[in-house]
């Protein structure tokens, strides 16, 4: 059994290295058929070929994501989409391609590589099979633009508000801190000044600033803190979901 595992990994690793080597050359790969010709092999490259508990394409895509190789990721996503265009949306093969892309996308999100995450957004499958690829093997510009506009990751909808509310809370806390300092300075001035008139002015200003700071704490700082705590819980649960 260990020998079988080694053979499965070697096949996945070999294909990864072949794609990586040819995608950095001046004469870049166009598609899987092009790769097959350069490797001078008769057997067609089947990304859904089973290797232990994963497919050949899924294993290579996972490696490319883990090792942060956007060229290999992009090449695979382009060719997976091409294969999906030939299939029925409800076919077993189409769903297998979807599954391997989703698994790799979760790894990319977990690793936090924004460049690779963006590739998964750009190269989502095209439901309308009348759309074709350009000669440079990229999806049509309209499709990429539409995907970028319409695709919002759940992870962003939870994590981004978390950091925004945390920033808002810190800003509110800073304003309260400054309000407290100004109030203290005015109180000291009211006590130390020799003129009764100035004491009254400084005292009145200190009271007004203290009231304003108190209202700010009630209406802004406390709500910001509560919202930050709620988003923190949502953010933590979202990250566990992608773990």
Residue 174 and residue 110 share a domain: no
Name the domain boundary from 151, 168, 185.
Answer: 151
Q: Which residues contact 106 (CB under 8 A, 6 or more apart)?
A: 242
Instruction: Provide the percentage of residues in the chain whose pLDDT is more than 90.
Output: 6
Residue 139 and residue 97 share a domain: yes
Average pLDDT over residues 171-181: 85
Instruction: Provide the percentage of residues in the chain whose pLDDT is more than 70.
Output: 71
Name the domain boundary from 100, 130, 151.
Answer: 151
Contact 36, 77 (CB under 8 A): no
Residue 102 and residue 15 share a domain: yes
Residue 213 and residue 94 share a domain: no
Residue 65 has pLDDT above 60, yes or no: yes
CA dist., res. 76 & res. 137, Å (int):
11
Q: Which two three-digit tokens encode residue 1?
A: 């059994």
Per the DSSP assignment, residues forming a β-bridge with 55 are 50
CA angle 136, 150, 105 (to 5 degrees): 70
3-class DSSP state of 55 = strand
Average pLDDT over residues 38-56: 81
Count of domains forming the chain: 2
Domain that holds residue 89: 2-151
pLDDT, residue 135, reads: 38
Residue 22 has pLDDT above 60, yes or no: yes
Residue 190 and residue 145 share a domain: no
Average pLDDT over residues 44-54: 81
Average pLDDT over residues 73-88: 87
Name the domain boundary from 126, 151, 176.
Answer: 151
Residue 130 and residue 37 share a domain: yes
242 versus 209: which is more confidently predicted? 209
CA dist., res. 66 & res. 156, Å (int):
20
């Amino acid at each position: 059994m260990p020998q079988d595992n080694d053979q499965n990994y070697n096949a996945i690793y070999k294909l990864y290295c072949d794609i990586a080597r040819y995608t950095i050359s001046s004469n870049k790969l166009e598609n899987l058929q092009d790769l097959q010709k350069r490797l001078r092999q008769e057997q067609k490259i089947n990304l859904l070929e089973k290797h232990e508990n994963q497919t050949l394409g899924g294993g290579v895509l996972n490696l490319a994501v883990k090792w942060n190789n956007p060229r290999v990721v992009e090449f695979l996503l382009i060719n997976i989409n091409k294969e999906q265009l030939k299939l029925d949306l409800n076919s077993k093969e189409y769903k297998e391609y979807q599954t391997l892309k989703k698994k790799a996308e979760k790894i990319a999100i977990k690793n936090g590589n924004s460049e690779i995450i963006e590739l998964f957004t750009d190269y989502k499958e095209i439901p309308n099979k009348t759309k074709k690829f350009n000669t440079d093997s990229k999806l049509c510009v309209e499709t990429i633009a539409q995907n970028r506009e319409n695709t919002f990751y759940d992870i962003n909808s939870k994590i981004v508000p978390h950091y925004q509310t945390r920033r808002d809370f810190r800003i509110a806390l800073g304003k309260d801190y400054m309000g407290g300092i100004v109030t203290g300075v005015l109180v000291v001035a009211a006590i130390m000044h020799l003129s009764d008139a100035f004491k009254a002015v400084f005292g009145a200003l200190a009271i007004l600033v203290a009231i304003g700071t108190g209202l700010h704490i009630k209406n802004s700082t406390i709500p910001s803190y509560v919202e930050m705590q709620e988003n923190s819980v949502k953010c933590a649960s979202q990250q566990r979901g992608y773990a």
